[in-house]
Amino acid sequence: MNNAPLGIEIYLEPTFFVDSTQPDIVRFVKNTIGNEIDKTKNAIKLYNAVRDGWRYNPYNIDLKHTALKASSLFNRENKSGYCIEKACLLVACLRAANIPARFCFFDVKNHIGVEKLVELLKTDVLVFHACVDIYLNDNWIKATPAFNEAL
C-alpha cells in the first residue's frame, strides 16, 4: 500500500462485529483464495464466495449484538442473512486477507419486486442498505454482497 492514504490501517483491524481473526473466518479465507497473491483477484473470490455462499434473506433480522458479528453469520445453520450481515462478513473476510475494507450505506429502490418485503415496509425503498468499500489499486471500490447470483 505504497500510495495508501494515512490511517488506512484502521480498515484492516478486527472489531467486535468484524471479527476477522476468528479461526473459522481465517480458514474460510485461506481456502477461498488459496495461493493467489493478487489482491484484486482475492477480493473478487471473496466477494463471490460471500455473495453466493449465504442466501439473501431480509425476513429474519436479529439485532442482538452477537447476532450481528461476522462469525455469527458464518456459522449460521441456514446459511442466509440480510445485507448488513453479509456486508459484515465480507468486510471481515477482506480484512483477514489483508485487503482494507469498510462499510458504506445507501437507500436503494427495490427492483426485484419482493411483494412480501414491500408490504412489510410499506415502501419499495430499502433504507440503510449495507454495502462494502474495498480499497484496491489506490481507490475505494463499492460492492454489495447482499443479493446472491440466483436473485
Write the DSSP assignment of the chain as a string of letters.
-TTPPTTGGGGGS--SSS-TT-HHHHHHHHHHHTT---HHHHHHHHHHHHHHHSEE-TT----STGGGSHHHHHT-TT-EE-HHHHHHHHHHHHHHTT--EEEEEEEEE--S--HHHHHHHTSSEEEEEEEEEEEETTEEEEE--SS-TT-
Predicted structure pTM score? 0.85
Residues 119-138 have pLDDT tens digits of 666 666 666 677 899 999 99
Mean pLDDT value across residues 16-27? 96
User: Per residue in 76-113, pLDDT tens?
Assistant: 888 988 888 999 999 999 999 999 999 887 776 665 55
* Proportion of the chain above pLDDT 70, given as a percent: 81
| pLDDT the model gives residue 42 | 98
- What pLDDT score was predicted for residue 41? 98
Tell me the average pLDDT across 17-41: 97
Confidence grade of residue 45 (pLDDT, cut at 50, 70, 90): very high
- Please name each of the domains of the chain with its CATH number: 8-143 (3.10.620.30)
pLDDT at residue number 76? 85
Looking at mean pLDDT, say which of 18-27, 55-64, 72-81, 119-128 comes out highest.
Answer: 18-27
Of 104 and 21, which is predicted with more confidence? 21
